[in-house]
Amino acid sequence: MYSGSFSGTNIPAANFSLTSASAATSTAGEAVDIVGGPKVPLTLIPPVALDTARKTLQAELTYGEGSYTQDLGVSLSIPAQSRVGTYTGTLTVTIAAGP
Amino acid sequence: MKPPNRLRAGAAALALATVWLAIAMPVAALDQAPKLGLTPVDHEGAFFELTLEPGETTRMRVEAANFGAEEVEARTYAADVYSIINGGFGADLYAEPASGTTLWLDYAAQVATLGPQDAIVIDFEVAVPEATPPGEYVAALVIENVEPFRGSGAVTVDQVNRSAIAVAIDVPGPRRPALQIGAVAHHAVGAESVVTFAIDNPGNVHLKPAGDFALFDAAGGELSAGPVTMDSVFAGTGTLLEAPLAELLPEGDYCAELRLVDAETGAADEIECTAFSVGPAASAAPDASTAASRPAPLSLPSTDVLRRAAPFIGIAFICLLLCALVLAVLARRRRRAAQKLDPVRGALRAEAAVSRAWIVRRGASAALAIEALPGTTTVEGSQIAFRLQKRLDELALERPLSILYLQGAEPVAQTTAGIAPFYVRSRPSGSLRQAGA
């Protein structure tokens, strides 16, 4: 979203994309398992637009009980002739447990 | 082999230090990001799994906790579940209208201030409406920080951290698994094309389909093919399956085929040569008017941040130079290591049914994971593995490789997750019969 004094417009959410997702690194608790995870899903092949939810890490049943870090590369395409000002986006990160 | 590992670790540490120094202020603040979670109380498992008859009501309890080191104003609410792209559990954002299964939950949205390591227990009811048809249903409970965690700079990303757990409800009765593949479309992401398929689950059972995808040009020539795997496509929902390609498709007409099967239920669907077109806008070469739209790194700092970070930038520059030197040495060693793999590649190319291979390292040992083309039988795969192992033994490699034979998307995913393959052929394509084997 744009805020400023030069009548700028919002940059579409589809311009914000995920460009890379590293393997998870354990910082506490259960170690990363090559089969059970946490691991990057095979279905995630960057770059992907982040105007919709994307899964970047998954763990099988009984795996992933710990703390982990993952580096995510992101990129923003700034349209030509964008106005001076502050552009603010909200990135929602969800840890989910479900079937 | 300790020296290369130390060099690699050193290069990584230098690279990390450089990134840290260049954007020191925002990175340091990430340790204070909210860490919230929901945990079922008196219920085994990480989420709720219930079996309820139509008209039945049950009371449940969930703990909402702050696992971080800072006080957080937390919001918790019930939300609809949807299937995200390529399958998987998605929970609607706050203020999205609730519907369906979410309305069975008597879980009012509430805000609570939680101190570090503080938790509250919330009671709620689940009431299945009378005359609910049998099947699998799901809703979500969510907790999140009310105030976004603020970023900084001229291009700002605020962060909302959510934890979502499912309330999965099984209403007993006959199961009707069903799967439908719908419209095919194309769009470009950067310099790559993505072919999408609409996937619907009109049945009453959650599915995890997998299968094969193929892309053809207007003349019927196969351009790409390979296995596809989806995560959960929830009953009564639809989503998209994305098949990304390595390049941007030129303007023109194409058709795509997709075959999907859910192994557990047998629900399946397939489409034959479904046409789509790539227009001129997606394939145009960059010109002056579009040159300014090239993707920009998100972490460009503002002028104020640059002034504050000035003392660190000089150190960062020195670190960059050292990084470049270390990486150059590593690249030279990598080229030499790749040359040593040339005999292995030669042996792989002699096997017409092998499409991709990975070097998978497990501790001190290493394995060569191979994937065969679709249609390769188990017996043929075993014979391929036997011939390759014999060939590798004859090569007397400095680091012996064992063979892992893989076929199908799931075994490949399980063994080689996160490891990039090298293609024995330009792209896996065709079936065993088309390869002439």
Q: Give the DSSP letter string of B85-107.
A: TTS-EEEPPTTSPP-GGGGGEE-
The first and second tokens of residue B170, run together, are 């099984």
CA distance B10 to B179: 50
Residue B148 contacts A where some CB pair is shorter than 8 Å: yes
Q: SS3 of B1, please?
A: coil
B292/A74 CB distance under 8 A: no
Helix (H) or strand (E) holding B259: strand B252-262
Residue bearing the bigger pLDDT, B292 or B169: B169
Helix (H) or strand (E) holding B268: strand B268-278
Residue B418 in contact with residue A40, Cβ under 8 Å? yes
**Distance (Å) from the alpha carbon of A13 to chain B's nearest alpha carbon:** 12
CA distance A98 to B169: 11
Q: What one-character DSSP code corresponds to residue B343?
A: H
Question: Is the alpha carbon torsion for B287, B291, B292, B293 positive or negative?
Answer: positive
Residue B142 in contact with residue B164, Cβ under 8 Å? yes
pLDDT at B305 over 70: no
Residue bearing the bigger pLDDT, B72 or B437: B72
Per cent of chain A over pLDDT 90 is 31
A95/B87 CB distance under 8 A: no
A43/B297 CB distance under 8 A: no
Question: pLDDT value at position B318?
Answer: 65
Residue B148 in contact with residue A90, Cβ under 8 Å? yes
Task: Write the burial class of residue B436 (CB in 10 Å: 0-12 exposed, 13-18 middle, 19+ buried).
Answer: exposed
Q: Which residues of A touch B231 (CB under 8 A)?
A: 41, 43, 55, 58
Residue B47 contacts A where some CB pair is shorter than 8 Å: yes
Show Cβ contacts of residue B252 under 8 Å, excluding neighbours closer than 6 positions: B217, B218, B277, B278
pLDDT at B307 over 70: no
When pLDDT is averaged across residues B160-186 and rounded to a whole number, the result is: 96
Residue bearing the bigger pLDDT, B60 or B338: B60
The per-residue pLDDT for range B202-256, each reduced to its tens digit, is: 999 999 999 999 999 999 999 999 899 999 999 999 999 999 888 889 999 999 9
Question: pLDDT value at position B430?
Answer: 37
Question: pLDDT value at position A54?
Answer: 94
| Residue of A11, A17, A40, A91 to mutate, testing the B interface (most B Cβ within 10 Å of its Cβ) | A91
pLDDT category of residue A95 using cuts at 50, 70 and 90: very high
How many CA atoms lie within 13 Å of B287's alpha carbon, on the beta-carbon side?
A: 4
CA distance B292 to B343: 46
pLDDT at B291 over 60: no
The first and second tokens of residue A26, run together, are 């354990």
The first and second tokens of residue B230, run together, are 């989806």
CA distance B365 to B253: 48
Sheet with B119-127: list strands edge to edge: B36-41, B57-66, B119-127, B105-106
Helices B2-22 and B303-340 pack at an angle, to 10 degrees, of 160
Q: Which of B36-45, B104-113, B363-372 has the lowest mean pLDDT?
A: B363-372
Residue bearing the bigger pLDDT, B29 or A75: A75
pLDDT at B301 over 50: no
Question: pLDDT value at position B315?
Answer: 61
When pLDDT is averaged across residues B352-371 and rounded to a whole number, the result is: 74
Question: pLDDT value at position B300?
Answer: 30
Q: Which of A34-48, B36-50, B100-114 has the lowest mean pLDDT?
A: A34-48
**Distance (Å) from the alpha carbon of A11 to chain B's nearest alpha carbon:** 11
Residue B102 contacts A where some CB pair is shorter than 8 Å: no
CA distance B416 to B369: 8
A80/B86 CB distance under 8 A: no
Residue bearing the bigger pLDDT, B344 or B302: B344
Q: SS3 of A67, please?
A: strand
A90/B47 CB distance under 8 A: no
pLDDT at B84 over 60: yes
Question: Which residue among A47, A53, A76 places its CB closest to the CB of B84?
Answer: A53
B158/A90 CB distance under 8 A: yes
pLDDT category of residue B321 using cuts at 50, 70 and 90: low
Q: Which residues of A touch B159 (CB under 8 A)?
A: 90-93
Helix (H) or strand (E) holding B322: helix B303-340
Q: Which of B64-78, B134-148, B159-173, B272-286 has the lowest mean pLDDT?
A: B272-286
Residue B337 in contact with residue B419, Cβ under 8 Å? no
B162/A75 CB distance under 8 A: no
Q: Which of A17-26, B93-102, B307-316 has the lowest mean pLDDT?
A: B307-316
The first and second tokens of residue B106, run together, are 């008597």
Q: What one-character DSSP code corresponds to residue A58?
A: B
Q: Which residues of B touch A39 (CB under 8 A)?
A: 417-418
CA distance B22 to B310: 9
B87/A43 CB distance under 8 A: yes
Let me know the angle formed at the C-alpha of B81 by B79 and B85, rounded to the nearest 5 degrees: 135
Question: pLDDT value at position B340?
Answer: 56
């009811």: which residue's tokens?
A: B125
A77/B295 CB distance under 8 A: yes
């398929």: which residue's tokens?
A: B197
Q: Which residues of B touch A54 (CB under 8 A)?
A: 84-85
Q: SS3 of A17, please?
A: strand
When pLDDT is averaged across residues B259-274 and rounded to a whole number, the result is: 96
Per cent of chain B over pLDDT 70 is 68
When pLDDT is averaged across residues B127-156 and rounded to a whole number, the result is: 90
Question: pLDDT value at position B12?
Answer: 36
Q: Which of A25-34, B129-138, B386-395 has the highest mean pLDDT?
A: B129-138
Q: Which of A32-36, B2-6, B334-338, B346-350 has the highest mean pLDDT?
A: A32-36
Question: Which residue among A23, A80, A86 places its CB closest to the CB of B292?
Answer: A80
The per-residue pLDDT for range A17-61, each reduced to its tens digit, is: 898 999 999 998 999 998 888 999 887 888 888 989 999 999 988
Q: Which residues of A touch B93 (CB under 8 A)?
A: 92
Residues of chain A contacting B, Cβ within 8 Å: 16-17, 19, 23, 34-35, 37, 39-45, 47-49, 52-55, 58, 74-81, 86-99
The first and second tokens of residue B301, run together, are 């700092």
- Residue of chain B whose alpha carbon sits nearest to that of A39: B417
Q: Which of B32-41, B55-64, B374-383, B402-411 has the lowest mean pLDDT?
A: B402-411
Question: pLDDT value at position A15?
Answer: 87
CA distance B68 to A97: 19
Question: pLDDT value at position B246?
Answer: 83
Q: Write down the pTM of the prediction.
A: 0.65
Does A38 sit behind a cis peptide bond, omega within 30 degrees of 0 on the bond before it? yes
Question: pLDDT value at position B230?
Answer: 93
pLDDT category of residue B319 using cuts at 50, 70 and 90: low
Q: SS3 of B24, please?
A: helix
> B136, B337, B147, B121: which is closest to B232 by C-alpha?
B136
Question: pLDDT value at position B30?
Answer: 52
Question: pLDDT value at position B427?
Answer: 42
Per cent of chain A over pLDDT 70 is 100
Q: Which of A35-44, B14-23, B268-277, B366-375 has the lowest mean pLDDT?
A: B14-23
Mean predicted lDDT score pLDDT of chain B = 77
CA distance B328 to B288: 35
Question: pLDDT value at position B128?
Answer: 98
Q: How far is CA B281 from CA B13, B179, B190, B285, in A?
A: 42, 33, 12, 9
Question: Which residue among B165, B192, B414 places its CB closest to the CB of A98?
Answer: B165
Longest CA–CA separation in chain B, Å? 71
When pLDDT is averaged across residues B399-428 and rounded to a whole number, the result is: 57
